[in-house]
Amino acid sequence: MLKRFLSATPMAFAATAVMAAAVIIALAGPVLAGMGQSTPGQIGLQLPATQVAAEINKFHDFVNIIIIAITIFVMLLMVYVMVRFSEKKNPTPSKTTHNTSIEVAWTVIPIAILVMIAIPSFKLLNLQYAYPKPDLTIKATGYQWYWSHEYPDHGGFAVDSIMLQDEDRQALIKKGIPAPRLLAVDNEIVVPVNKVVHMLVTAGDVIHNWTIPSFGSKLDAVPGRVSATWFKPEKEGIFYGQCSELCGKDHAFMPIAVRVVKENVFNDWAAALKAKDRKKAKEILEKVALEQAGTSKVAEAAR
């Protein structure tokens, strides 16, 4: 009996568990996720806009399938044992204390699962620390409670991003520019599409954290230390993040907004800021924001 139970039942359980896990991931993941910001009812990660974020999403789904499969497998096994080997159904219990093959299996299978997880995990780490040659470098400094972004290779101008209050958001929304609550800022960071951006991240007072989930970027901003990450956005649009290190009373109100635009638009914007023409830079951005809002509406309607 024990032999038959060991050979047939766990295999069937395992197969059911893996299939159920795969179905849950496939249904819940991409359907509810948003691009560049979270969406109501979202379950999965935000949709990726860089290769690193895409790999993080894949790795997350892969590990989730394993987790769900193991949970379902153990649960079914416990239910089976409780029913099949209850005192009523099995009045004289077996005196077995050792079973070499099952002991080998419960040692080898977990090791194999960990190796299966370790290989893509190290590959992903390697990609995150690859630092391809930069086309652009931006230095982000976190302050209580806003972000300042310097462009050292474009004349060193700086863009301070302060969260928009409701009145200013409504003014933008009236113009047709989306300005989500707790995410929209007065001065967005602008980067060209398909270019490698090196982010240098530091802080001026306490520890903050610079992050854009759709880029797969998250880095502590530590006073007196400069950390680095990189991203290469493959999609145009607006991508939001929020300070992710508890930094004081307005921690929840220092969002990060990165606008990814065509290279010529970026060049015009950077040239305007270099010439200290903030009004022109703002006009360029508003125009792009309107265009991008239009295309995302068209994309939504086509869905």
Q: From CA 154, how far away is CA 177, in angstroms rounded?
A: 27
* CA distances, 18 to each of 14, 112, 269 (Å): 6, 16, 50
Span near Cu ion by CB under 5 A; candidates 87-95, 164-172, 208-216, 279-287: 208-216
What's the min distance (Å) between Cβ of 49 and Cu ion? 23
Q: How far is the CB of 208 from Cu ion (least distance, A)?
A: 3
Give yes or no for residue 221 binding Cu ion (CB under 5 A): no
Q: Is the Cβ of residue 250 or residue 283 nearer to Cu ion in the bound state?
A: 250
Whose tokens are 């060049």? That residue is: 267
Interface with Cu ion, residue 163, by CB under 5 A: no
Of 69-88, which residues contact Cu ion (CB under 5 A)?
none
DSSP string for residues in 68-100: HHHHHHHHHHHHHHHHHTSTTT-SS-------H
Sign (positive/negative) of CA torsion 119, 125, 129, 130? positive
Binding status of residue 189 toward Cu ion by CB under 5 A: no
Candidates 149, 198, 208, 232; binder of Cu ion (CB under 5 A) is 208
Residue 221 Cβ vs Cu ion, minimum distance, rounded to whole Å: 8
Length of the chain: 303
The CA-atom distances, in angstroms, between 65 and each of 33, 120, 138 are: 18, 14, 37
Stretch that binds Cu ion, among 65-73, 124-132, 186-194, 201-209 (CB under 5 A): 201-209
Of 53, 185, 201, 243, the one binding Cu ion by CB under 5 A:
243
242/146 Cα distance (integer angstroms):
10
Candidate residues 140, 247, 260, 265; the one interacting with Cu ion per rule CB under 5 A: 247
Amino acid, res. 39? T
- Contact between 256 and Cu ion by CB under 5 A: the answer reads no
Q: Please say which residue, 48 or 213, places its beta carbon nearer to Cu ion.
A: 213
Residues of this chain that interact with Cu ion (CB under 5 A) are: 208, 243, 247
